[in-house]
Structure 1
Amino acid sequence: MTGTKIVDLAAVPERGSYLFTAEDAVTNETEVILVRCADEPGVRAWVNVCPHETQRLDRGDGAAMRDGEIVCPKHGSMFDACTGDCDNGEAAGTSLPAVAVGVDDGGVYLTDDDYDYVRDGPADGDDGPADGDDGPGSTSHIGF
């Protein structure tokens, strides 16, 4: 498989997400999440942002998941883990930006020509939940 190995498929949680950082052609860092999906190849990658309100879906401790959908922590909009589409809440009618990945011999590979793998974890300057940023106050109607 052509591409850079990100992680072993077994390390992508069944619920939640695996966070890594990629960069575009002009070296802008972008957070990307890997989530399990029922469709082949069993995992999808999405830019780590709710398209409704520039909100990180995974703030360093895994994205909230419910019934095969990624849940925005602010408004509770839910995105299909396989298609990235949202049909409810504040983000209804939007889709998560996809990042191409493939699976080969138990590994997940970044195959998107628009991105290069940089590292596991959040983008530079964002240490996740340990940086004192607890994220947004939630206005979600979704309970866990």
Structure 2
Amino acid sequence: MSPRTHLTSADDVPEQGGWLFTVEEPGGSLQEVFLLRLADGVAAWRNYCQHETDQELYREDIGAVVRDGGIVCPKHGSVFDAATGHCDNGPAAGSDLAEVAVTVELGEVYLTDDDVTFSHEGPAGAGSDDDDDDDVPDSTSHLRF
């Protein structure tokens, strides 16, 4: 088991929207992950829809949209169970979100996934020299929340 990394306090994970951080894969690529507060703890999901992996579920302007215990994909409306990651509707039906292992202990959230390492809080591009000022998600969605 690899050492755990402190992420944040469970109290600092907003009840709506979630908390975004970035992990580094073994090959060096960066991947966004978001925490969601659940009734009985915290879940961590990689920030992409299973139907279209370039479609983010957590967006900086609104976080992750959660309705009736489900994470709503802003592009096609598929809904993933916030606790299990499973989707049983829309274009992503039958798929599961990619989970990242976290542990809550004494009110603090720790990254405990052996497959990734913590990079930083916030989006993957935070702190980069990328001059792209376009903060608009790559979506053609007609859905509004």
Q: TM-score range by the shorter chain?
A: 0.7 to 0.9
Q: Which moved more, 1:55-64 or 1:3-12?
A: 55-64
Residues paired across the two proteins, number: 137
Q: Secondary structure of the equivalent of 2:91?
A: helix
Q: Which moved more, 1:118-127 or 1:43-52?
A: 118-127
Counterpart contact for 1:76–1:139, Cα < 8 Å: no
1:116 and 2:121 are equivalent in the alignment? no
% identity of equivalent residues: 53
Displacement after TM superposition at 1:9 (Å): 0.5
Q: Secondary structure of the equivalent of 1:46?
A: strand
Q: Secondary structure of the equivalent of 1:90?
A: helix
Q: Corresponding residue for 2:48? A: 49
Query: Displaced runs of 4+ in structure 1, greater than 3 A?
Result: none
Q: Which runs of 5+ in 1 are unaligned?
A: none
Indicate the RMSD between aligned Cα atoms, in angstroms. Answer: 1.9
For residues 88-139 of structure 1, the C-alpha deviation after alignment (integer angstroms, 9 at most, x for no partner) is 1111111100000000121100000001111110002698xx9324221214
Q: Corresponding residue for 2:37? A: 36
Q: Secondary structure of the equivalent of 1:137?
A: coil
Normalised to the residue count of structure 2, the TM-score between the two structures is 0.87
Q: Which runs of 5+ in 2 are unaligned?
A: none
Alignment of 1:18-97 (within 5 A): 18-39=19-40, 42-54=41-53, 55-61=55-61, 62-97=63-98
